[in-house]
């Protein structure tokens, strides 16, 4: 495998179901992939020293915590394609690491003699060093699989933690766990059992992180509520905002409220419409388009500027008419896209985007109508009476959790067909961009309860867990797995990994994961997950409906 230009198997589209070796299916080139490998090497080094200092009672500066969270987030699939921005993070991380080493030495602390602490390379050395520190540095397949499962869970956790931090909600214990886990897989000769235990601890930390973000979002913007979102267009110029960061949405809406332009959401930003605080903006026009992977054609027809607040970026084709209209911020980046920095006051200046929007034509209409969402845990609990009664009467036979990610593979049409063919006495619980596979189908309702209950973004999968736990309590069940709930979840990248680990840590079993099982699961680790948790893949729609007891 050493002749590969790169090796990456962190996302569902890993080439041939094993790993990308020349260029990422996502569009990431081998040089950027190598820089990310080196950045993660530096992150591990910073974490080793920070963990040792913390163990001995020393406070870790917020700058260190922010660096680790941002660096992990920037290496998530489709977040950052800008090699130079990754290298700047490496520069900063090496300085942080060396400062922490000096601090440890002042306290006479003994540090492990690992490469992550002893390497002293400069920019000219980055490429050569990166070739030695990637995923394949760990030669044992099962150990590698478990370690990467932890790392990918931490990447997803970092994404959600950064959003909470931007809303001034933080938890030192989450940073402590993140850094301890990274230190443990760097320095420790952990057994498979110990690594599996760390996997479960990562899931527990993921639950805590998503709860923190839920509190941050609702404290600032109110509880999501049942909302019909327009999917048509108006006749004024617009700005399209994509990704997951609600703080950016807030700042953009505030800065554009008197500008004579409209703001539209795309993909994972759709749930912004569900929060009461954003409904006061008359120019918050609606949602334009579908899931992230359709952005090439949808950005072309939108006509105005696009702001990426987080992943998922699809590299534009060479002749794309929108390349000069795209902006990035936070952990995202792409060569040639203008990056909006956060100011010293924690805010961003979107004036350049606003000025460009005023010069653009209004969006071209691609569809009409409305989609219904806003069914986070608070809204569903407000409907608890009718829901419980519908279950008791048999009007609702089963809930189907179809949360997760969407993606480009044709096999994902399975989820549209599965939703379409579900019996009419079933209700879909969803969160994440997987919903675009079925949220525009006319699936009707059960006694006024919509058959698709969209909780929001991928992090709002936490809401689905809260709903399940509440139903367990209402029905006085001893085990969450006794509920009439089937889990048929689509995944794509690392935020879905932390959601999966979070569900496992809550005791949820028999989760079906598709369209393929992760390439980073070795046969040995996959067998453990199957035997211990009942993890399984998907098959054909008809056979799966029968397997779940849902045949018409």
Of 404, 543, 425, the closest CA to residue 487 belongs to: 404
In a domain, residue 192? The reply is yes
State the average pLDDT over residues 278-296.
98
- Which residue(s) pair with 399 in the sheet? 427, 485
In a domain, residue 369? The reply is no
Residue 479 sits in a domain of what CATH number?
A: 3.40.50.2030
State the average pLDDT over residues 123-145.
97
Question: What distance in Å separates the CA atoms of residue 311 and residue 413, rounded to the nearest whole number?
Answer: 22
In a domain, residue 370? The reply is no
State the average pLDDT over residues 205-224.
98
- Do 300 and 391 fall into the same domain? no
Contact present, 373 and 440 (Cβ < 8 Å): no
Structure tokens at 375: 């069914």
- Do 408 and 476 fall into the same domain? yes
In a domain, residue 552? The reply is no
Position 2 scores a pLDDT of 44
Sign of CA dihedral 67, 71, 74, 76: negative
- Do 166 and 250 fall into the same domain? no
Flag whether pLDDT at 1 surpasses 60.
Answer: no
What is residue 305's DSSP assignment? -
Residue 8: band (very low, low, confident or very high) from pLDDT cuts 50, 70, 90:
very high
Of 8, 2, 93, 106, the closest CA to residue 48 belongs to: 93
- Do 429 and 332 fall into the same domain? no
Question: What distance in Å separates the CA atoms of residue 197 and residue 179, rounded to the nearest whole number?
Answer: 16
- Do 149 and 68 fall into the same domain? yes
Position 4 scores a pLDDT of 81
Q: How confident is the prediction for the chain on average, in pLDDT?
A: 97
Position 3 scores a pLDDT of 60
In a domain, residue 452? The reply is yes
In a domain, residue 9? The reply is no
Question: Domain range holding 45?
Answer: 15-219
pLDDT tens digits, one per residue of 447-503: 999 999 999 999 999 999 999 999 999 999 999 999 999 999 999 999 999 999 999
- Do 519 and 479 fall into the same domain? yes
Question: What distance in Å separates the CA atoms of residue 16 and residue 28, rounded to the nearest whole number?
Answer: 16
Position 552 scores a pLDDT of 64
Residue 106 sits in a domain of what CATH number?
A: 1.20.1270.20
- Do 180 and 306 fall into the same domain? no
Report helix, strand or coil for 207. Answer: helix
Question: What distance in Å separates the CA atoms of residue 433 and residue 430, rounded to the nearest whole number?
Answer: 9
pLDDT tens digits, one per residue of 380-433: 999 999 999 999 999 999 999 999 999 999 999 999 999 999 999 999 999 999
pLDDT tens digits, one per residue of 22-80: 999 999 999 999 999 999 999 999 999 999 999 999 999 999 999 999 999 999 999 99
pLDDT tens digits, one per residue of 432-442: 999 999 999 99
pTM: 0.97
Domain count within the chain:
3
Q: How would you classify the pairing of strands 452-454 and 449-450?
A: unpaired
């Amino acid at each position: 495998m050493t002749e590969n230009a790169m090796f990456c198997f962190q996302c569902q589209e890993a080439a041939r179901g094993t790993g990308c070796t020349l260029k990422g299916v996502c569009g990431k080139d081998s040089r950027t992939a190598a820089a990310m490998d080196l950045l993660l090497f530096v992150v591990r080094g910073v974490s080793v020293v920070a963990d040792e200092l913390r163990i001995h009672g020393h406070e870790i500066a917020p700058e260190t915590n922010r660096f680790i969270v941002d660096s992990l987030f920037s290496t998530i699939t489709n977040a950052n394609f800008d090699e130079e921005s990754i290298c700047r993070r490496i520069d900063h991380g090496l300085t942080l690491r060396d400062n922490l080493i000096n601090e440890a030495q002042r306290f006479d602390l003994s540090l492990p003699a690992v490469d992550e602490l002893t390497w002293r390379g400069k920019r000219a050395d980055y490429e050569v060093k990166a070739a030695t520190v990637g995923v394949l540095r760990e030669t044992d397949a099962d150990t590698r699989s478990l370690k990467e499962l932890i790392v990918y869970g931490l990447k997803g956790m970092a994404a959600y933690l950064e959003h909470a931090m931007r809303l001034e909600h933080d938890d030192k214990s989450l940073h402590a766990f993140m850094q301890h886990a990274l230190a443990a897989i760097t320095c420790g000769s952990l057994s498979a059992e110990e690594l599996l235990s760390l996997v479960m601890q990562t899931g527990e930390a993921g639950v805590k992180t998503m709860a923190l973000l839920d509190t941050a979002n609702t404290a600032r913007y109110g509880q999501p509520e049942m909302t019909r979102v327009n999917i048509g267009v108006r006749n004024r110029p617009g700005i399209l905002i994509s990704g997951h960061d609600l703080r950016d949405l807030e700042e953009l809406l505030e800065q554009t409220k008197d500008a004579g332009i409209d703001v539209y959401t795309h993909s994972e930003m759709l749930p912004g419409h569900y929060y009461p605080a954003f409904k006061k903006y008359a120019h918050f026009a609606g949602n334009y388009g579908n899931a992230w992977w359709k952005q090439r054609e949808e950005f072309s027809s939108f006509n105005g500027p696009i702001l990426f607040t987080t992943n998922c970026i699809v590299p534009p084709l060479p002749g794309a008419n929108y390349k000069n209209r795209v902006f990035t911020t936070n952990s995202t980046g792409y060569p040639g896209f203008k990056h909006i920095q956060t100011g010293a006051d924690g805010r961003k200046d979107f004036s350049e985007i606003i000025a460009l929007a005023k010069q653009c034509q209004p969006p071209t209409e691609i569809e009409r109508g409305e989609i219904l969402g806003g069914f986070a845990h608070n809204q569903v609990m407000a409907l608890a009476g009718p829901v419980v009664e519908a279950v008791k009467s048999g009007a609702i036979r089963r809930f189907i959790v179809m949360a997760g990610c969407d993606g480009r593979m044709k096999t994902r049409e399975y989820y549209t067909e599965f939703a379409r063919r579900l019996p009419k006495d079933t209700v879909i619980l969803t969160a994440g961009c997987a919903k675009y596979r079925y949220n525009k189908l006319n699936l009707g309702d059960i006694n006024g309860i919509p058959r698709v209950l969209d909780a929001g973004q991928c992090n709002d999968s936490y809401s689905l867990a809260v709903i399940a736990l509440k139903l367990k309590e209402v029905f006085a069940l001893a085990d969450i797995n006794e509920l009439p709930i089937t889990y048929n979840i689509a995944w794509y990248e690392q935020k879905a990994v932390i959601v999966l680990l979070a569900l496992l840590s809550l005791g949820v079993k028999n989760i079906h994961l598709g369209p393929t099982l992760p390439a980073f699961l070795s046969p040995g680790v996959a067998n453990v997950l199957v035997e211990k948790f009942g993890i399984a893949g998907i098959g054909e729609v008809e056979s799966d409906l029968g397997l779940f007891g849902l045949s018409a």
